[in-house]
Structure 1
Amino acid sequence: MAHGSNYKVAFRRRREGKTDYAARFRMADLNTSRLVVRVSNANVIVQIINIRPEGDETIVSAHSKELRKLGWLGGSSNTSAVYLTGYLCGKKALNAGVENAILDIGLRSPIRGSKIFAGLKGAVDAGLEIPYGESVIPQEDRINGQSVADYAASLDEEELNKHFSQYLARGLQPVDLPNHFEEIKNKIDEAEV
């Protein structure tokens, strides 16, 4: 006759939907740096993290708020901002002596063309060696904001003010987003990160 229960309470971070311990265990075995891309509604954080027995060690970190300091006027969590934050993190990682990593998307579903893969593409374009399949990367016109510019060009002035009020308030015409994207990417290249 069995007594008690076979029920096991999951770890707190798993219950909160923050950590996939099975995936983390597989990554810990690889003994390599992880490129961690986390996208919220308002911001993006891209980090290079090493797993250590005493706890994770963050080597470098880039936040979409840093793009504002470089003059970024676009959204801080759109596909372009995720790419630029990944690019910035990649540059910082190379300066810190990190040359390769693996992508850690946490509990997010690996959806082709998602923002997380824009962050990956940014880090790869910065010079980091990260294995990935080309099919998961968002299209170039989404990364550089051309799709936003094309959409904005199709709107009349009233609709433009309605849909892009934040861009306009910061002084950015949505049709200028691709040029602004390249300008900020060049500033990241010139900055000593």
Structure 2
Amino acid sequence: MAFKRKVLGKTDYGRRLRLLKSKDRRFIVRITNKGIIAQIAEYSVNGDRILATITDKALSKYGIELRGNNLQICYLVGYAAGVEAQKAGVETAVLDIGRKKFRKGGRIAACLKGITDSGVDIPHGEDVFPDKKRLNGSHLKNPVKLNEAVKNFKKLEEKA
């Protein structure tokens, strides 16, 4: 079966080709039913080379024991991906969201805000990010204190 991933709805080859032609590193965001995966990848003839990977489960390394794919976790995964990307020498990237649609103020936008706040330059519009109240978790029963979490990232970054 030719282009099996296209038939299964997993890959948009037109979008992928445009991303690869840009020759920029890609910030890949995939939201699953139970979590989130963020990666920094660059194109290679032998296959994409992954420079950094962070999942919601990996946040425990930074002292955050929560899992899931809500806005706060998405922001923190993006921030952690930015920290790891900078360790790998990545300063700029383009957003790769696969077959998902980008929604203003959504989980992918929260992840994008996290990586841009960490210092990685990714082209975006200013009005796409979630509201600060939602990022701080005012709509959640048990919100993560983002200021403390970001301080944990910075402390661990200084130790390394």
Shift of 1:138: 1.0
- Deviation per CA, 1:29-74, whole angstroms, max 9, x where unpaired? 1101000011112111110011112111101111110113433244
Aligned to 2:152: 187
- Deviation per CA, 1:150-177, whole angstroms, max 9, x where unpaired? xx4xxxxxxxxxxxxxxxxxxxxx2xx2
- Deviation per CA, 1:85-125, whole angstroms, max 9, x where unpaired? 00000011111110000001110012111101111110000
Query: Alignment partner of 2:60: what SS?
Result: helix
- Deviation per CA, 1:118-162, whole angstroms, max 9, x where unpaired? 1111000000010001121111111121232xxx4xxxxxxxxxx
Structure 1: state its 5+ residue gaps.
1-8, 153-173
Aligned to 1:118: 110
Aligned length: 158
Q: Choose the corresponding residue for 1:46, options 20, 27, 38.
A: 38
How far apart, in 2, do the equivalents of 1:76 and 1:185 lie?
A: 18
Aligned to 2:92: 100
Percent identity between matched residues is 37
How far apart, in 2, do the equivalents of 1:75 and 1:145 lie?
A: 14
1:5-154 alignment runs, 5 A limit: 11-148=3-140, 152=141
Structure 2: state its 5+ residue gaps.
none
Larger radius of gyration: 1
Shift of 1:10: 5.5
Query: Alignment partner of 2:139: what SS?
Result: helix
How far apart, in 2, do the equivalents of 1:73 and 1:140 lie?
A: 22
